[in-house]
């Protein structure tokens, strides 16, 4: 039985226990099975109240072990219902069982636990890989997982970098799962990197956006480019759109739920680009992808293929900057773009170039509706 098949069997077992109102689950750590439940404290425990604990079953993570684990879980559940649970009735870990496992064993156990709490599909697998799996594989797989090993692995990355920040997140989660003291990660090593302090970006002008649209020879990718520019979509969202209203003469497009932030309705900036870019005739390129990341990943290579000198996301950033230039209220702009007001404010405001700032300043100052400054009176002039 391979890892995926075993995880499915374990998930089915726990679902069966829940359906039977048995307040115990079976979990896998490395190659061993444990029963997990809210249990009375052990003798001399620091927590005096019942709390979630694991019972060592002395069983291997195989089909035979699962069958035996189900029977013991039911026995523990019955004892809890009758308030007769006693720690002495169950085998405690021997010194050999308490020897810490290797990094690869803990990584396998961590992944199993992760998907016991989430439905396993292409999207969640991609999310796990990008957030945890990729970085966990960088650990020395055959070495004992310890605080010292995690600390060395973190320090091997560049301080105050995106990688350091991601590694800290992954290793903190693994360390917590393995019962390792990981407070050192936040206190000393995570650094000052923050996605809320983005670097300014050299965005194309609206004139350049129009010019590059006309240079794309493929009509399908022209439509993709035009939609990204006009509606500020994320690349993967182009494959999850309801454009029926647009096709019937309207201007609103609807981003459908399978996307990163779910359903939303988006307005065009500029509306005249709908006709100029011929967006009412939907022309999606024939591409496939198991998840949003892989679908979105088809767009950037097309931009490179047609020698477009900026990545697809810059069209989204230009839309955000356009919201600011057009005085769209932040709450509305954030809703159209599918993120929070805080994200819109701290991220996209920071991407306004000096030229944009100057343009906005001159437009506001020269506006006929701008309040006029008070004039000095005659008494003030005499003084």
- The ranges assigned to domains in the chain are 3-99, 104-189, 206-365
Q: Choose between 113 and 302: higher pLDDT.
A: 302
Backbone angles phi, psi at 57, to 5 degrees: -100, -15
> Which pLDDT tens digit goes with each residue over 1-10?
667 788 888 9
pLDDT class of 295 with cuts at 50, 70, 90: confident
Tell me if 86 sits within 8 A of 78, measured CB to CB. Answer: no
Q: What's the confidence (pLDDT) of residue 92?
A: 53
**With 50 as the cut, is the pLDDT of residue 94 above it?**
no
Q: What's the confidence (pLDDT) of residue 62?
A: 82
Q: Which two tokens stand for residue 91?
A: 């085998």
Instruction: Output the pTM of the full model.
Output: 0.53
- My answer on whether omega of the bond before 351 falls inside 30° of 0, hence cis, is no
- Could you give the CA distance from residue 94 to residue 102 in angstroms, rounded to a whole number? 18
- Could you give the CA distance from residue 66 to residue 310 in angstroms, rounded to a whole number? 53
Q: Choose between 323 and 244: higher pLDDT.
A: 244
Domain 206-365 bears CATH identifier 3.20.20.70 = no
> Which pLDDT tens digit goes with each residue over 238-288?
998 999 999 999 999 999 887 667 789 999 988 999 999 999 999 989 887
pLDDT class of 177 with cuts at 50, 70, 90: confident
- Could you give the CA distance from residue 321 to residue 333 in angstroms, rounded to a whole number? 10
């Amino acid at each position: 039985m391979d890892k995926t098949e075993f995880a499915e069997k374990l998930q089915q077992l726990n679902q069966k226990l829940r359906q039977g109102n048995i307040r115990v689950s079976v979990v896998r750590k490395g190659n061993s099975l444990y029963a997990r439940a809210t249990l009375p404290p052990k003798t001399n425990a620091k927590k005096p109240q019942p709390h979630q604990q694991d019972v060592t079953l002395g069983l291997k993570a195989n089909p035979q072990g699962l069958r035996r684990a189900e029977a013991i879980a039911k026995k523990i559940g019955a004892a809890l219902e009758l308030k007769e649970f006693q720690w002495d009735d169950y085998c405690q870990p021997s010194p050999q069982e308490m020897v810490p496992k290797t990094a690869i064993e803990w990584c396998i156990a961590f992944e199993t636990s992760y998907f016991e709490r989430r439905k396993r599909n292409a999207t969640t697998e991609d999310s796990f890989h990008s957030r945890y799996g990729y970085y966990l594989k960088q650990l020395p797989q055959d070495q004992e997982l310890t605080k010292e090993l995690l600390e060395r692995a973190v320090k091997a990355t560049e301080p105050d970098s995106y990688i350091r920040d991601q590694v800290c997140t992954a290793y903190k989660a693994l360390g917590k799962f393995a019962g390792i003291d990981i407070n050192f990660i936040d206190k000393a090593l995570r650094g000052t990197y923050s996605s809320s302090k983005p670097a300014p970006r050299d965005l194309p002008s609206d004139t350049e956006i129009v010019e590059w649209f006309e240079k794309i020879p493929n009509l399908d990718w022209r439509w993709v480019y035009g939609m990204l520019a006009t509606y500020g979509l994320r690349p993967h969202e182009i494959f999850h759109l309801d454009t029926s209203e647009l096709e019937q003469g309207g201007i609103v497009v609807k981003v459908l739920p399978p996307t990163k932030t779910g359903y939303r309705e988006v307005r065009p900036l500029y509306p005249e680009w709908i006709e100029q870019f011929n967006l009412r005739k939907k022309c999606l390129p024939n591409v496939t992808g198991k998840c949003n990341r892989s679908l979105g990943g088809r767009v950037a290579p097309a931009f490179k293929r047609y020698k477009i000198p900026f990545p697809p996301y810059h069209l989204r950033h230009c839309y955000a900057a356009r919201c600011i230039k057009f005085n769209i209220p932040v709450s509305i702009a954030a809703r159209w773009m599918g993120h929070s007001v805080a994200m819109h404010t701290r991220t996209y405001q920071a991407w306004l170039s000096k030229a944009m700032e100057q343009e906005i300043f001159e437009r506001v100052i020269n506006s006929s509706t701008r309040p006029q400054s008070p004039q000095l009176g005659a008494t003030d002039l005499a003084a």
